[in-house]
Amino acid sequence: MEDVCLRVEKNVYENVKYSIYSQTGSTAGRAERIDNVAPQSRAYPEDCTADIPYEYASALTTNTSDVPSVVMAGAGVGML
């Protein structure tokens, strides 16, 4: 089985018990965590470096602290 490396970038987690979770000793996957705001997690997946074959930086907000207001401004019926 091929290892998986998931990039998790510029997310804000509120009112969650675990933001990014992997069972201790699990080999199911790993995560590259970049600029996230999250509560302490009991067991983060192992670190890795994701190979992303395209550019996406222009789609990200500059400051992670802006994520809640950006999401709320664009969320809801008729916003898509």
What is the Cα–Cα distance from 71 to 17, expressed in whole angstroms? Answer: 21
Q: Has residue 34 been placed in a domain? A: yes
Q: Has residue 5 been placed in a domain? A: yes
Q: What is the pLDDT of residues 15-49, one digit of tens each?
A: 887 777 766 655 667 888 888 888 766 667 788 89
Q: Has residue 70 been placed in a domain? A: no
Query: Is 8 in contact with 20 (CB distance < 8 Å)?
Result: yes
Q: How many domains does the chain have?
A: 1
Amino acid (1-letter code) at residue 34: I
Q: Has residue 73 been placed in a domain? A: no
Q: Has residue 40 been placed in a domain? A: yes
The pLDDT of residue 16: 81
Q: Has residue 30 been placed in a domain? A: yes
What is the domain extent for residue 15? 1-52
Q: Has residue 76 been placed in a domain? A: no
Q: Has residue 45 been placed in a domain? A: yes
Q: Which residues of 19-48 are buried (b: 16+ CB within 10 A; e: fewer)?
A: bbebeeeeeeebbbbeebebeebeebbeeb
The pTM assigned to this predicted structure is 0.69
